[in-house]
Chains A and B, each alone.
Chain A
Amino acid sequence: AQSVAQPEDQVNVAEGNPLTVKCTYSVSGNPYLFWYVQYPNRGLQFLLKYITGDNLVKGSYGFEAEFNKSQTSFHLKKPSALVSDSALYFCAVRDTGGSTLGRLYFGRGTQLTVWP
């Protein structure tokens, strides 16, 4: 079965500093990996995905993620954090075929706080 782990419940970083939100995964087969962000009282917004190709994936709002197959990781990064980046971040993996194709498996989420 697919699974995702986000080892940090909370990440705190100063504005202007680089940020990293960690994610590791376990899949049977090739992974389709995603990052979503959730602002208070809102739904999930798609940030970026890895399907195939370059291990460094660029997404919305200046975020990027690095896929590392040997470490089964897909960490979310941003070179310079903004206060407005403060939100709840979810890593997810999707099945690549079969009857469970449309299902996402989510991590528990990481609350990112960027202070001024």
Chain B
Amino acid sequence: KAGVTQTPRYLIKTRGQQVTLSCSPISGHRSVSWYQQTPGQGLQFLFEYFSETQRNKGNFPGRFSGRQFSNSRSEMNVSTLELGDSALYLCASSLGTTGTKEGNTIYFGEGSWLTVV
């Protein structure tokens, strides 16, 4: 069974540009969430989507947005990039329910390394 797939793995952008990151969850998983990881702030929750609806949102500015498609694939977009947006962006997927023990496990992808120059 394939894991969580994130593309691209590495990218470099210039301040002011925008970027779109993609995530394909594990087959059958309906929940996709995004996290930002930086050395200073650690792992910070961005948002979670379940069945194409944003179910939860972290404390990030409106420049950070996301969406989920009917096949559960998700994208996140960051507009007007700032130097401080340089980070590892992690996507995670799960069944999105608590009905089973397996439904409670959240699996992560390898991440997308974003460098803003």
CB of A89 within 8 Å of the partner chain: no
Interface size class on chain B is: 20 to 34
Specify the chain B residue showing the minimal Cβ separation from A97: B98
Closest Cβ–Cβ distance, residue A110 to chain B (whole Å): 12
Bound-state Cα–Cα, A102 to B4, Å: 16
Q: 1/0 per residue A93-116: CB within 8 Å of B?
A: 010110111111110110000000
* Across-interface contacts of A41 in B (CB, < 8 A): 113
Interface residues on A, range: 20 to 34
For residue B107, CB closer than 8 A to chain A, the reply is yes
The answer to the question of B71 belonging to the interface, with a C-beta cut-off of 8 Å to chain A, is no
Q: Are B45 and A104 in contact (CB under 8 A)?
A: yes
Query: A99 — which chain B residues lie within 8 A by C-beta?
Result: 55-56
Q: Mark A25-58, 1 if CB is under 8 A from B, else 0.
A: 0000000101010000111111001010000000
Interface set of B (CB-CB < 8 Å, partner A)? 4, 6, 31, 33, 35, 42-43, 45, 48, 50, 55-56, 58, 90, 92, 94, 96-98, 101, 104-111, 113
